[in-house]
Structure 1
Amino acid sequence: MASSPTSLWHTLLHLRGNPRACVWTEPMWGLSMALVLPYLSVFMLVLGLEDAQIGLLATVGMVSQVAFGLAGGIITDRMGRRLTTALFDVIAYVIPCLIWAVAQDFWAFLAASLLNGALQVTQNAWDCLLVEDAERDQITGIYSLVRVASDFSALFAPIAAFMVARFGLEPAVRVLFVNAAVVMLAKAVLLYAYSTETRRGRMRMAETRSVSLWRLFAGYGDAVRLLARSHGSLLALAIATLVAAVTLVNGTFWQVLVSRHLLVPDPVLPFFPMVRSLLSVLFLFTLIRRLTSGHDLKYATLWGFGVYLAGQLLLVAIPTSAGGADLRTYALLGVCLLLDAFGVGMLFMLSESLVAFHVDEAERSRVMALQRTAIMLAAAPFGWISGWLSGIDRTYPFWLTAALLLIGLVTTVFWWAGPHAEPTAENGAAGGA
């Protein structure tokens, strides 16, 4: 069940232990990666990469995530949630940021993308660290707080805009990547210092210490069977996969379309994710809270897909102006951000919460790793496909995302109309299918 603004503040102020450490260090993302990621695709274009190469890098990154994701559950169980999170934060973020900071060609970006795929290991471990010692009735509130922390990080976007306007895009982005490496290293150290290994983590470390890697990989068969038996998990997996594919395309080509198709100046680019994020926070505290306040999440899911679909269709309908972006362009982009913010906020909260609700507690690490691997494997081709489409017409990737969101809308309607158990907050909290 979604949390009210009052209960979110209560949850934030009364968090203890690992949930507190995870939530309270999350805003550091805004002082690091959030400052520079809006520029990554445009930075590649400036250095001479083509749309198809950028799309290929997105797919390579997803394939790398698949490989790391499959191993993530085993690594997390063997090393523990706390150490895995710290070590793979360095591998997935700190080292790639340093490579991006000095990159000159496709091959450097390829190396960084391969290492950045390790984020699936740290994400898996971090999720376990976040929720395993939390009360189950706090889970949606905790994920809402994580989303709020991520969205509020966009408030730092003017720093990047000032640097790009003052020094130019390429030198500014290189400095921002160095800053991201330093801040992410500090985040990893602080989270490690103020967290402890979870109860389930200590048990899994003891259980897997003398077990061979082959037997641990073979254990994924049990995880597959657990997923197959849970109708709620299958729907959660489908929703998360569609959200991941749409997020991949938007994260890679939204700024490219705005910059190169609608001719919005580079210094303005980071303000778009800032506005989207702040609107998402507003919706989380208002409309999204109301739409998810009951146990039936059917209509919340339909609203998420439907509104997000409207935003993507409007984006491709914005007319171009030979003289550059004008007032009409910015006004229509503002409406797109409004619709996207609601859709992203709703679907993020639902996909993460539904996955967490339907995971068997005893096998959380392996099941979540398997789910993430399946999601990344299914979403991976859309990076290359969208790059190929963008090379033809920069609006085409967003016709693709519109089609994916329509599939999500139709899937949700037919799923709830069928004989399957509804993946409600109530059933999920009880561990039901």
Structure 2
Amino acid sequence: MLERRPGLWSTLVNLRGNGRACVYTEPMWGLSMALVLPYASVYMLALGIEDRSIGLLATISTLSQVLFGLLSGAITDKLGRRATTAVFDIIAWSIPCLIWAFAQNFWWFLVASLVNGAWQVTQNSWDCLLVEDVERRTIPHVYSLVKVAGDMSAIFAPIAAVLVAQFGLVPAVRILYLNAFVIMTAKVYLLWRYSSETRTGVRRRAAVHGVPLLTILRGYRGVLGLILHSKGMLFSLAISALVASVTLVTGTFWQVAISTRLGVPDGLLPYFPMVRSLLSMGLFFTLIPWLLGGHDLKRATQWGFGVYLAGQALLLAIPVPAGAADLTTYAMLAGCLLLDAFGAGILFMLAESLVALHVDRHERSRVMAIQRTCVMLAAAPFGWFSGWLSGMDRSWPFWLTSVLLALGLLVSSTLWVRHDEAAD
């Protein structure tokens, strides 16, 4: 049974070591990638890339993540959590940002998508760096703080809007990608400067010293057996796959839908994630801690899927205006943002926390590598499929996400596995 967890503020103040370094540098994401993401899909549209091609790029990116995800456990053990995070953050973010900044056509985005898939390596190593030396009972709140840190990007959203209004969509997005290159590179340095290798990382690096990477990968067979024989890890894998699939579709086509289907001007696009992030931050310090205060996370997961589903249903119910978005459009979008802020926010935190709680702590990096690979394989087809749907009707991708969220609600209600029942 989970121990009663400390409050979010208490966790923030008392974080030390790697947990502190990871959480305290995370707001730099908001000054970099979070500024440009609201425009990523419409930027591609403006450069002449069609919906189906955008969806195809999302699938290609996901398949690249599958490959890097499979390698991530072995690389993380071989290089160590700290070094892997530094090296692959440069590869996965700094380099693609330069490619995106100067992109001219589909092929530029294809190369950037393939390279950007390396973020699955750093996601594994960064997760290990984040949680391996913190108290187990604080893990859900640590991931809550990560989400809040990412949501702090909200206060910088007007910067993007001003740039778009001043220079136009394409030039402004190019500037934002160059800014992301600088800030993400600085983030890599600061995390390296103020972190150290984890105790588990030191042991794993010593254990594989001199062992070829291919030999380490062969050991995945035994690790796969750990997953297949653990109800908890299989359950957390299913939840993560559903959340990843929904995130892939909404992250690619939400801005496209409100821009082209509902008539929202380009200059207003960054304000929607800004409002969503502000709402999410407020909820993480009020309602969400109350839901996390019990002995397990089942109720919170059910609420997450249910509320997020309600947000998608409301989005589908918004009438298409005759021209530009009207008062009714914005009022209903405001309701969507509130529901999405709760649903997407809590599901992000819970999907990560459930994996961390159920994973075999002695084989964390390799188990998480296999789990992430499976999750990406499950999510990959939804990029292309949602692009095909969007090419016919910009609302159809959200019928797809509604089905996935309903399935998540069903799985979390009927197949729940408590973390103390899982094989450790």
Same fold, judged at TM 0.5 (above): yes
Give the TM-score of the pair, scaled to structure 2: 0.97
Structure 2 residue matching 1:380: 3-state secondary structure? helix
Partner of 1:151: 151
Task: Give CA deviations for 1:65-107 in whole Å, capped at 9, x if unaligned.
Answer: 0000000011111111111101111100000000000000000
How large is the Cα RMSD of the aligned pairs? 1.4
Measure, in 1, the Cα distance between the counterparts of 2:110 and 2:337. 30
Measure, in 2, the Cα distance between the counterparts of 1:410 and 1:139. 25
Measure, in 2, the Cα distance between the counterparts of 1:2 and 1:37. 37
C-alpha contact 2:231 2:423 (8 A) present in aligned 1: no
Partner of 1:423: 418
Cα shift at 1:414? 2.3
The answer for unaligned runs of 5 or more in structure 1 is: 417-421
Partner of 1:323: 323
Measure, in 1, the Cα distance between the counterparts of 2:117 and 2:296. 35
1:105 and 2:94 equivalent? Answer: no
Measure, in 2, the Cα distance between the counterparts of 1:2 and 1:350. 16
Cα shift at 1:432? 4.7
C-alpha contact 2:239 2:351 (8 A) present in aligned 1: yes
C-alpha contact 2:4 2:137 (8 A) present in aligned 1: no
Partner of 1:203: 203
Structure 2 residue matching 1:394: 3-state secondary structure? coil
Task: Give CA deviations for 1:12-64 in whole Å, capped at 9, x if unaligned.
Answer: 12211111111110000000000001100000000000000000000000000
Cα shift at 1:157? 0.5
Partner of 1:68: 68
C-alpha contact 2:65 2:376 (8 A) present in aligned 1: yes
C-alpha contact 1:2 1:140 (8 A) present in aligned 2: no
1:253 and 2:248 equivalent? Answer: no
Partner of 1:419: none
Query: Which amino acid in the other structure matches residue 236 of structure 2?
Result: A
C-alpha contact 1:63 1:377 (8 A) present in aligned 2: yes
Could you tell which deviates more after superposition, 269-278 or 385-394? 269-278
Partner of 2:274: 274
Structure 2 residue matching 1:69: 3-state secondary structure? helix
C-alpha contact 1:2 1:293 (8 A) present in aligned 2: no
Measure, in 2, the Cα distance between the counterparts of 1:299 and 1:127. 24
Partner of 2:222: 222
Measure, in 2, the Cα distance between the counterparts of 1:28 and 1:44. 24
Cα shift at 1:7? 2.3
Give the TM-score of the pair, scaled to structure 1: 0.95
Size of the alignment, in residue pairs? 423
Cα shift at 1:412? 2.0
Measure, in 1, the Cα distance between the counterparts of 2:299 and 2:395. 29
Cα shift at 1:213? 2.3
Partner of 1:292: 292
Partner of 1:121: 121
Task: Give CA deviations for 1:158-188 in whole Å, capped at 9, x if unaligned.
Answer: 1001110111110000000000000000000
Measure, in 2, the Cα distance between the counterparts of 1:412 and 1:29. 31
Q: Percent identity?
A: 64
Cα shift at 1:212? 2.3
C-alpha contact 1:2 1:292 (8 A) present in aligned 2: no
1:307 and 2:302 equivalent? Answer: no
Could you tell which deviates more after superposition, 364-373 or 223-232? 223-232
Task: Give CA deviations for 1:307-346 in whole Å, capped at 9, x if unaligned.
Answer: 1111111111111112210111000000001111111122
C-alpha contact 2:4 2:293 (8 A) present in aligned 1: yes
Measure, in 2, the Cα distance between the counterparts of 1:214 and 1:26. 33
Cα shift at 1:214? 2.5
Measure, in 2, the Cα distance between the counterparts of 1:183 and 1:358. 34
Structure 1 residue matching 2:7: 3-state secondary structure? helix
- Name the CA shift for 1:11/1:412 in 2 (closer, same or farther; >3 Å): closer
Cα shift at 1:297? 2.2
Partner of 1:21: 21
C-alpha contact 2:52 2:384 (8 A) present in aligned 1: yes
Measure, in 1, the Cα distance between the counterparts of 2:299 and 2:158. 36
